[in-house]
Chains A and B, each alone.
Chain A
Amino acid sequence: MDPIIIIGAGQAGVQIAESLRQEHYSGPILLLGAEAHGPYNRPPLSKKWLLERHDPAQLAIRSVEAIRRREIDLQLHCEVTAIDRAQHSVHLADGRTLRYAGLAITTGARVRLLPGPALRGVFGVRTLDDAQALAAAFEECVARAAPLVVIGGGFIGLEVAATARKRGLEVIVLEGLGRLMSRVVAPIVSDAAARVHERHGVQLKFDMKVEGLIGVDGQVSAVRTAGGIEYPAGCVVVGIGVIPEDRLALAAGLACERGILVDACARTSDPLIVAAGDCTARRLADGTLLRLESVHNAIEQGKSAAAALLGRERPFTATPWFWSDQYDVKLQMVGLSHGYDQIITRGDLDKPAFSAFYYRAERLIAVDSLSRIGDHMLARKLLDNGLSPLPAQAADPAFELASLLRPSAA
């Protein structure tokens, strides 16, 4: 019996393997990981782990032994070089060719890098190896009193900036646009985050077009911007986004568009192949292309993908959620705020401890919360249940949002 093969042993890949077992699939499962490490959680790499550097085994999504106990054949350090859809097989870098009964692609994404020759001291943050190398570079910077320059004021860049400040580094963030996290949050949230970072001593530079990196003997020494300014750097973190890892799928002729195109059930354009997680994109009914890069998406799409491999439909309909930790501020987001026409805030903007409620045509579509965990958790329930507080209710601190979830409110 040919196995179900899963390419990529990250969050989505592990979820598919485990969901297959939960759904009582008893056939062989081959889970192929490109890295040397067993499956691990990536979110702490730019946050808690980078600061504390505890035992990497504590990052495990599951231990390798626990996965193998469920008769999931996990193979690490295993690179897939091609998918042969006609033969229902995959080719591996070690020369093997393996046939599949069903195939799942969970190859994730890779860090977008700057053009130019590679220099030591320049990091993306995606893998455990990246984070380990960056943590070592932090120590060097501390010893030499050399600054960290972060290129990109998005989630990864800001999380690394916060961690570096906690470690005592001088930090400069160069953002290409006029505010932080502009792709995802409203200006009011960007501004609050900027105040927090400045309060912690980060130098934020906006509208900075990076022209290139300057190196001495192969080691980065400065970042040059279009204005001709050079920012000295002991090390550099590039946080300008990721590129969905869809090269195998593209080469195999699967439909791709900034990621492997999947439907709500995680099915690709080949009936034997599903895909889940950061490597995917979805075309919505209104024509927009939806790309989600999050743990929640990897897990939910993974569950959908496992069901699809077994011929069942389990569409991913939950409202997407995300989070970021910067200093003691917990930024939590639920829903997609794109296209909002009204924002209502609730809480204390200065502290900051507030939520931004995004409305479109008086209907709640998303909520961003800064250190307002209760708001976030309630917002997830409201949005999942298709409930929308009136803008006036959201604005009224005395109004109890939870009351909308009680049966009497229906």
Chain B
Amino acid sequence: MPRVICTDATGHTTTLEMRAGWSVMQMAIEQQLAGIEAVCGGMLACATCHCYVDPEWIARLPPPSEDELQMLENVAAERRGGSRLSCQIYIDESLDGLPIQIPDRQV
């Protein structure tokens, strides 16, 4: 299964072992990764599972939907080029090792 490498605002790194059909947010919540809140449980209603996908990798992900783009305009931490909502990120083996950063705040 592909892995996602998560680095939090303090520089601490955690590796998430993904499961087929699970979003990055769902794995992060399951593994109790600090810094991902996901208040709405992945319903695209809260923008509290914001993450920064590494700029080198961002173009390899399917692009965000219009709804996600609108939510991204209102994330609590700084919005950057690699900003995504982790509840919308599903990856396969081709993205094994995807590096993401966790912002310092979600609300």
A, B co-complexed: yes
Residue positions of A touching B, CB distance < 8 A: 41, 43-44, 47-48, 54-55, 57-63, 66-67, 69-70, 295-296, 299, 323, 325, 330, 332, 373-374, 377-378, 380-381
Cβ–Cβ contact B32 & A373, under 8 A: no
Cβ–Cβ contact A295 & B74, under 8 A: no
Cβ–Cβ contact B32 & A58, under 8 A: no
Number of A-B residue pairs, CB cutoff 8 Å, is 64
Extra contacts, 4 of them, besides A48-B42, A63-B30, A323-B40 (Cβ < 8 A), are A60-B30, A299-B39, A330-B45, A330-B67
CA gap between A249 and B14 in the complex, in Å? 42
Cβ–Cβ contact A373 & B70, under 8 A: yes
B71 within 8 A of A: yes
Shortest CB-to-CB span from B72 to chain A, Å, is 10
CA gap between A72 and B39 in the complex, in Å? 20
Cβ–Cβ contact A323 & B45, under 8 A: yes
Majority DSSP secondary structure for residues of A touching B:
helix
How many B residues touch the partner, as a band? 20 to 34
Cβ–Cβ contact B30 & A66, under 8 A: yes
B73 within 8 A of A: yes
Cβ–Cβ contact B32 & A323, under 8 A: no
CA gap between A374 and B47 in the complex, in Å? 11
CA gap between A144 and B79 in the complex, in Å? 51
Shortest CB-to-CB span from B32 to chain A, Å, is 4
CA gap between A378 and B75 in the complex, in Å? 11
Shortest CB-to-CB span from A353 to chain B, Å, is 11
Pick out which of these stretches binds chain A: B1-9, B21-29, B53-61: B21-29
CA gap between A47 and B21 in the complex, in Å? 18
Most buried by A among B39, B40, B41: B41
CA gap between A48 and B45 in the complex, in Å? 13
CA gap between A59 and B41 in the complex, in Å? 7
Residue positions of B touching A, CB distance < 8 A: 21-23, 26, 29-32, 39-45, 47, 67, 70-71, 73-74
Nearest-neighbor residue (CB-CB) of A60 within chain B: B30
CA gap between A285 and B68 in the complex, in Å? 38
CA gap between A299 and B74 in the complex, in Å? 20
Cβ–Cβ contact B30 & A295, under 8 A: no
CA gap between A378 and B32 in the complex, in Å? 29
CA gap between A299 and B106 in the complex, in Å? 14
CA gap between A124 and B31 in the complex, in Å? 31
Given A61-B29, A66-B30, answer yes or no on A381-B74 (Cβ-Cβ < 8 Å): yes
| Residue from the list A41, A58, A63, A330 in contact with B44, Cβ < 8 A | A330
Contacts of B29 in A (CB 8 A): 60-62
Shortest CB-to-CB span from A251 to chain B, Å, is 32
Given A55-B21, A374-B70, A378-B74, answer yes or no on A62-B43 (Cβ-Cβ < 8 Å): no
